[in-house]
Structures are given as C-alpha cells and as structure tokens.
Chain A
C-alpha cells in the first residue's frame, strides 16, 4: 500500500514537472512571429496577395493562430485597413491571404505588416501578440511605362448601384487634368501631387458596352493627351420569378421561370447569367442550357416529393429560389384525343373522348365548351380514361364546335390544352308559320291575289326550306281545295280567285316536315271600302303612323307599303292593342311617295282596310318643269296650258304653280308678273285696258317729249327707256289677270326654269329646302331672237312648296347689280322691293347677269331693237343706263282652295292678257 502511494506521488510529480517544462519551452519560443512576408499585386482584381511563414512552430504540430494585418497607403502611418485572419498553422507551412483594394493599386504605394498570436485551446492563457513584422512596400507605378497620363482601373466590372473608385496618375505635375464620365466632369481627391482619386457612388447602368471615363491632361489650352478606361456596369441579377415544375408523363419534370433582366455585357466581360437546378433529396444538380426552362429526368419512381433550388449566377452575384412539391400535385395533362360525336340528331349528341393515362386509379376532371349560334355553353364532367357527355337542347341543323380539356381531379394543377371537333345537328320541321301577307287586285268577276311571305329565320326554319305549300280552300264550297307547292326561295305567288271567300294556308317545308300553317282569308269583296287618304310627313328615320282603334274582335293590324323603285310589297304586323307604329327602313328614298295601308285582322283572319296614308320621307323640288303650251295668242291675251305632274313623278306634293311674266325688251320699264296658280285651274289673266290707257295718257301728258323719245323713237334707244309701271296685283281663284306693258307681241318664248330653294307665298318669304338647278330648257314659240341671251321677260312655273326668292329677284326678277355695289346692297336686293329699287337705279345689265335655267316667256317686240342681233356690242361700262326696265307683278292664288286634286292627265292653262300700252322690244 505504501509502495502504491509512493509510486502515485512520484507519477504526479513527474507529470507536473513535465508540464512545467513544456510551458517553459513554449514560453521561451513565444511569440511566434510571422516571417518571410511577401506581397504581390493582382491588377485585374485590384488585390494584394500576401504570403508568409511562421517560424518556431513545433515540428509536426498544428496550432490555431490569429494574424493581425495592417495595410497603409502612400505612407506607413496612413493605415487604411486593419484586420485579423485566423487559421490553423502547420510546421513549415506557407500562408496566403488576399486583400482587395477599392483604390486601384497603380495609384498609390501600399505597405503591409502583420503580427500573430496563438489561439489554441490546448494552450491556456496567457497568450501574447508577437512583434509586428517589418513593413512591406508595394508599388506598381514604376511599371506603368511611358506616358504622361494613366487612368485606372482598366475594364473593371461592377454592379449597378455600387461604389467605385477610379484614379489617374499624371507624370507631370504641371499638367492640369480633368476627368469626365459620359461627358460630365467629375471631381476627385488629390492623393499626392501626381495622383487623384474619384469616388463614384452608386454607378448607373448605361449600356452593356460599358461606360467611357476619360481624363485629359492639358497645359493652358494645349491638350497633352486623353486617356481613359471603360467601366463595365452590370445590371443587378434578379431573383428568378414564377419558378414552377410540372410533369405530363411522370418521366420528366418541366421547370420554367421568368429570368428577368439579362446581365450580359459586351467585350465578353460578363456572359448572361447561368441557371442551375439542384434537388436536395436526391442531391442531384443540373446546369440548365436555356435561360427560362429546364427539364429534369425523374429516375426514381419512389420519389414523390421534390425540393428544387434554382440558382441564378453571374460573375458578381448569385440568387436562388426554392420550391417543394409533391409530384402528383404537379400533373399537367396532355390534351385529350379521339374526340368524336355519336348519335347526333336534331337536338342531341353524345360527345366522347379519351385521356392519356397517367397512373392507375386516376380520376380526371374534364371541361367541355360548346360553341354554336354565337353562344357558348360550358359543362364539367369527371371521367376515368374514356370520357363521354350527352349534349342536349341543341338547335337543329346547326353547326357546333365542341372542345374538351382535362385536369387531375384529385389535385388540380392546371388544365390541359383543348381538343375539339365540329359537328352539325340534323334538321327538324320548321317551328313557326311563315309570315304571310297579300295584295288583292279586284277585277270584274275575280280577284287576283298575290301572296307574299317572308323567309323563316334560321332559328325557326330548322334546316333548309325546300318549298312552300299553299292550300287554297273555297269557304263557300268547302269540298274544293287546291294545293300548290312553290319551290324555295320564292317568296310570293299569284292566285286568281273567283268571287267567293277563300282560306289560304301557307306552310314552309324542309326535308323533315312542314311548319305550322299561316292562314289568311280572302273575303268576297276584300277591298270594297272607300277610305280617305291622309297625307303624312316622313322623316329621315321613317314614317310615324297612327290609326284609330277598331271596335270588335281584332287580332292584330297590318301596315303594308311598297318599296320603290323595286315595287316590292312590304308589311309589318302590329299587335291588337297597338294603334301606332313607326315604319323605318333604309329603303326609303327622298322624293319618293310612299302609300301606306293599314288593315285590321279579324278573328276570322279577314283583313279589313282601315286607313290610307301617303307621304314622303323627304320632299324634293320637282326635277322637271311642266310642258307649257301657249295658244289663243292675241294682242292682249294668251292662254297657257300644261299637264299636271303624275303622282309617281312628283318628288313632293305639288301645291300650286307660279306663272311669271316679264318683258323681254330692254328699253321698256321693268314689268314682271308672277301668278301663283292653284293646280288644275284655268287661269285667265286680264288687265283692265282702260287703266293702262289712262296711265299711259297721264304719263304722256306729263312728259310727252320724253315718252316720245323713250317709247317711240325713230331709232329705238334702249338706254333711254326707263318706264316703270306699277305692279298690279289681282287675285282670283279662277281668273288671274296680269298687267303687262302695252306691247304687241309677235312671239312668246317659254324658258324652262327650275324652282329655287325658297318659297314666297303671298309676299311672305319662307325657306324650305335647297334644290339643284336643272338644265334650262328653252322653248321658242317663234323663231325670233333664239340666241338672245340678255335679260328678258319670262314666265316661271313654280312648285309652290319649293319656290325660292331667287326666282323673284335673281332668276325671273333679274337683279341688275352694279359692280360697285357693296355686298350689303346685294343682300338687300334679294327682296322684291329692293329689286325694284335696283331697277330704278339705272344699273347696267351685263351679260353675266343673265340667269341660266329659267322658264320664262320672252316677248319679242314687233319693233326692232337696236340691240337685237348685236348683243356682242353690249356696253360694258357700268355707268351706262340699263338696257331694260322691268316690272314685276305677282298674282298669288291661295293654296288649298279645296280644288279637286288634279288627275294625272289633267291639263292646266293660264290666259295672260298683254297690255297693249306696254311695248316690248
């Protein structure tokens, strides 16, 4: 026992002494000073590379050490970086460490030193730092070569938004150096007389070809050179977006993502970012060759869950996104196939299709879309492998397009692509009776009935209409009926029926069957009722019609009319409780008269004419003037006769006629008469002879010499005649007498003149509508002065509705306008009063004032006019006296005198008595 105690004590003492010895030995060696420090530079990465060793390390022993490194710039006291580097050091090991400088190394001398301390747990405290190593100086300025200016760093790659320091080295401190970035001068900090540094904060991306930064050295205004660098600024690498993976066959996973901005740069400074797929459960990695998708082979059937990391990487940055999913939840089915239709009939069909089988016991959700007739229906159905769906409530004879897509019903991920097919349903019998109407032309002993029907809409035809059946049944003799089949697409047929009552049934037929019948009954005397015709005014939009409600059983109303010029019967059905409707169609034309008939339909299907209406959608001026004949010509009267317009040729309702009368002779006073005559009225224009004689005698008495020179010169002088007669106005519905000059005509010239655009009714002007002038049509009753183009008397026939003021003044009134007359005067002269005033003013009538397109009666005097046949020599001097004086007389007969409506061939005439006291030359 004592021996054991002695041995134990000895062992502990020995151990203690060994430990003490080791500590003493190590303490003697410490601190372990770094030695053989060497510093090199890497200009591309702007880094200092340090390498050193640690002496005094025990042989074959590893120690954990910490090295503190100091880096100074320009001078040793200017420490720019201090840091620790920890590592495990072996005996005789060469240690390496790099430091990247933000300032290009070429622009400043750098100094490096370090010290160390042991940081090993096997050696307890205290540990002491070693002494600093000596400073190692690094300078690359000497190796720059020849040149007066250098700019750094060369071709540096940085990320957008980062901070960059650039610098220049100028060999000659006498040079003034200015630096520019994209043309804008930048300002820096002088590090020493030769070196200046520029801190560029948050550099922008400008272009992938890099950004030119340059410096120019100069002395005074003399440039010594430009040097520069290209800074490559990369876009910031984005995190991939919308990263997802799916399978169509459980063999391949197709992964896609949105790569975002391409960070590639010119000069091959940086290629486009690369993408790598990493699956953590399997530990497999794949470098993707496309920038937005990658396929991953599924090799293990047992692996259901996948954890993918997509890593985007460029020279500056790495970004990644992660998804974790179950494979069965990412099934994107291939589109269905073998789409077919079975048992297709008029309204039903069965759609079948197949789905690509994925795994056993898979249930698919399929969606069907049915397109047809402008509508779309959608149905969802759950299927296994073979899909089937019953399509019902289809329209007959209609083409449909049906398509189907499917998805995994258990874990819906996304629909497959569509697969579709077209099919057409079969025909069915027409579902609605055709809309039928008729026109009846009664003749002695029979009726000619023309049946019209409208084609059935596609919705009701249920197929192609092949023919129409018309069954005519004699209601008075029920045993007799007749069937006619009219092939489509005819829409009318003509029947000649005797004077019995007939029921007519019309059906439309396709390949399957007949439609319900449309029934119409023709009574014994269908159009016997005399109905007053009412005038209505249409609009551009159509005609608004209304009628009185009919007592008794009325099942509806029908309004019919004819389209012009096709003369196609049109009709519109109106319900029994409606007594007005608007007929609007694009077929209505201006200047065309439309006759509307309104029928009531009795319960027995008999149509009874209720009202007639007629009107124009827009009335127009007559395009043709009436053919005027002059007869019974005497020295003081003549008779005008003309035919009324036919109803069809009237572009508007003819409300009356105007007769204008004026002298043709220029020398005489202006005399102009206009008679407003009602249609179909025989007009005699008489002028009290006594009145004229008295008037002339008084005038002659007062100015006998003047009268002699004026009216009875030896050689008529048109410039000296200025007789102004009074306008006589007489109104008589049956007899209109115009007071004309006392001339004895030997010829009357009828000049056609279209009516103007304004109406003058009893002296009141009223604008209605514009109308175009038609080509003048001159009718010479006598061959005298056929070529006369100067102003002359005329008779104008006007449609009273479309009469225009110009006919009073400009056309027939023949306004003489002085070239010096101001515009306001021109305007004033458009009224009759102004016309007369203007005439009194001795303004010259030039040839240019001759109104074209008039219908007038030109009186050719028996006395030779000095100007006759010498119109080319008409004076053009505006100050000369007028050639012709005219007077105008209007005779207006009130319209609407309850005169009988002129028949188509009725003849109109007017007798004008010429005042013998008025001389026309």
Chain B
C-alpha cells in the first residue's frame, strides 16, 4: 500500500536535472491510490494549464535559440526542427482516457527533457536569466499538469500505472549537440503543446 502511494511522488522527484533513464519504479500490479482528493474541476485545470503552456511555448523557444548564438536563430528548420526520437505519440481523436494516458507520457518526457535543458543552460549561459526563469516556470506548470492528469486517471479511470519514456540524456554530448538537442526538443514542445491544448 505504501509503495503505491509514493508512485506520484517519485515521478515528480525524478524530474531532477540530469534525469534521463527510465524509472525502475511503479510495480506492475500497482493500483491507484491518491493521497489527496482530486478537484472537481480537474479537467478545467488541465485545460487551463495546457493553455498556459501553449501561450508561453513560443516565447521560450525564441529565448532559447537566441541564447545559443549563430547559427541557431537563422537555421531553425535545420537545427531546431522537431526531430525528436522516442517522443511519445498523441492521438487527438482517442477517448479521454487514452488521451490522458498519452498526455501523461508526453508530460513526463517533456519534464525530464526540460530538466536537462535547464541544467545545461545554467552552465553554458549563466547570465541568461530570463531563459532560466522561463524554463523553471514551464517545468513548474508541467509538474502541476502531471499531478492533475494522474489524479484524473486515478479518480475516474483507476489507472495507477503508465509506462513512460524519458528524454535523451545529454550529459555525455558535446556542447553543440546539447544546444541542438535542446532546441529540437523545445521546437517539438512548442508544436506538441499546441495540439494538446486544442485536443482537450
């Protein structure tokens, strides 16, 4: 019973900078258990959070590629195209349950990737405070969104376990590759979040 309760907590804790490997947690036979009751207007909150993310995604993308210097701002299609491997799929015409499960996977993926990007940028661009601030704010909203999605999955669909994948670990990459992967991820994020905001 205790193990089941810590699942969401571990998921959130796992979003530390540098995370990148799959979580060896959540027993297969885990059932859904929530520490606190979910809000009545959970879906509204989810929609609101998606809209909030969608509203700031482009600004974050611009801040990022500007801070990387040339050739990034002038070669967005080549360097920042949404060519992200293993990015969880999303089907807008699915059921709410299926969409929520896919949303959960995407948010987990984005959360870990943003953690990597934030870590890298704090080292590479220590003076780009507005970028850091935007990255942190986005990560905060993603955490809240993840919690709400999980709450919804648990409370309505009794889904206590979702297999997830995480963003690529960039720690071993060279600096240019880190910049490029971050840019691609944020380009993908901008594209995906627009679809998600529309789908809910």
A interface residues (Cβ-Cβ under 8 A, vs B):
151, 154-155, 180, 182-183, 207, 209-210, 212, 214, 216, 223, 225-230, 266-268
- Inter-subunit contact A212/B78 (CB<8 Å): no
- Inter-subunit contact B176/A228 (CB<8 Å): yes
Does B94 count as interface, using CB distance less than 8 angstroms?
Answer: no
Minimum CB–CB distance for A215 against chain B, Å? 10
Chain A interface mostly helix, strand, loop or mixed? strand
Residues of A within 8 A of B174 (CB): 154-155, 229-230
Closest to B174 in A: A154
Minimum CB–CB distance for A80 against chain B, Å? 26
- Inter-subunit contact A180/B125 (CB<8 Å): no
Q: Could you list some 25 contacts between A and B, CB below 8 A?
A: A154-B175, A155-B174, A155-B175, A180-B70, A182-B70, A183-B70, A183-B71, A209-B125, A210-B124, A212-B68, A212-B69, A212-B70, A212-B72, A214-B176, A216-B71, A216-B75, A216-B78, A226-B71, A228-B71, A228-B180, A229-B175, A230-B175, A266-B125, A267-B123, A268-B123
Complex Cα spacing A266 to B78, Å: 25
Does B79 count as interface, using CB distance less than 8 angstroms?
Answer: yes
Question: Taking A183-B70, A212-B71, A228-B71 as contacts, is the C-beta distance between A267 and B79 under 8 angstroms?
Answer: no
- Inter-subunit contact B69/A227 (CB<8 Å): no
- Inter-subunit contact A209/B124 (CB<8 Å): yes
Closest 8 CB pairs of A and B: A154-B174, A230-B175, A228-B176, A226-B78, A183-B70, A214-B71, A267-B124, A155-B175
- Inter-subunit contact A209/B176 (CB<8 Å): no
Residues of B within 8 A of A228 (CB): 71, 176, 180
- Inter-subunit contact A266/B124 (CB<8 Å): yes
Minimum CB–CB distance for B186 against chain A, Å? 17
Residues of B within 8 A of A154 (CB): 174-176
Minimum CB–CB distance for A173 against chain B, Å? 21
Which of A180, A216, A267 has its CB near the most chain B CB atoms (within 10 A)?
A267
Residues of B within 8 A of A207 (CB): 69
Minimum CB–CB distance for A887 against chain B, Å? 86
Does B126 count as interface, using CB distance less than 8 angstroms?
Answer: yes
Residues of B within 8 A of A155 (CB): 174-175
Residues of A within 8 A of B68 (CB): 212
- Inter-subunit contact B123/A225 (CB<8 Å): no
Minimum CB–CB distance for A263 against chain B, Å? 15
Instruction: Identify which of residues 47-101 in chain B touch chain A, using a CB-to-CB cut-off of 8 Å.
Output: 68-72, 75, 78-79
Residues of A within 8 A of B72 (CB): 212
Residues of B within 8 A of A223 (CB): 78
Question: Taking A180-B71, A212-B69, A228-B71 as contacts, is the C-beta distance between A267 and B78 under 8 angstroms?
Answer: no
- Inter-subunit contact A266/B71 (CB<8 Å): no
Complex Cα spacing A154 to B79, Å: 17
Closest to B69 in A: A212
Instruction: Identify which of residues 123-146 in chain B touch chain A, using a CB-to-CB cut-off of 8 Å.
Output: 123-126
Q: Choose among B79, B126, B176 the residue that contacts A230 (Cβ–Cβ < 8 A).
A: B176
Complex Cα spacing A223 to B180, Å: 16
Given contacts A154-B174, A212-B68, A267-B175, 7 further A-B contacts (CB under 8 A): A182-B70, A183-B71, A212-B69, A230-B175, A266-B124, A266-B125, A267-B123
Chain B interfacial residues counted at CB < 8 A: 17
Residues of A within 8 A of B69 (CB): 207, 209, 212
Minimum CB–CB distance for A183 against chain B, Å? 5
Residues of B within 8 A of A267 (CB): 123-124, 175
Complex Cα spacing A268 to B72, Å: 22
Complex Cα spacing A223 to B69, Å: 20
- Inter-subunit contact B176/A229 (CB<8 Å): yes
- Inter-subunit contact A266/B176 (CB<8 Å): no
Complex Cα spacing A545 to B148, Å: 98
Complex Cα spacing A775 to B34, Å: 92
Residues of A within 8 A of B78 (CB): 216, 223, 225-226
- Inter-subunit contact A266/B70 (CB<8 Å): no
Minimum CB–CB distance for A310 against chain B, Å? 28
Complex Cα spacing A517 to B125, Å: 83
Closest to B67 in A: A209
Minimum CB–CB distance for B84 against chain A, Å? 15
Complex Cα spacing A151 to B71, Å: 14
Minimum CB–CB distance for B169 against chain A, Å? 16
Complex Cα spacing A503 to B175, Å: 102
Minimum CB–CB distance for B122 against chain A, Å? 10
Complex Cα spacing A633 to B180, Å: 110
Complex Cα spacing A216 to B68, Å: 17
Complex Cα spacing A87 to B103, Å: 66
Closest to B120 in A: A267
Complex Cα spacing A182 to B73, Å: 12
Residues of A within 8 A of B79 (CB): 226
Minimum CB–CB distance for B38 against chain A, Å? 43
Residues of A within 8 A of B75 (CB): 216, 226
Residues of B within 8 A of A268 (CB): 123
- Inter-subunit contact B175/A227 (CB<8 Å): no
Complex Cα spacing A154 to B124, Å: 15
Residues of B within 8 A of A212 (CB): 68-72, 176, 179
Complex Cα spacing A207 to B55, Å: 32
Minimum CB–CB distance for A270 against chain B, Å? 13
Residues of B within 8 A of A214 (CB): 71, 176
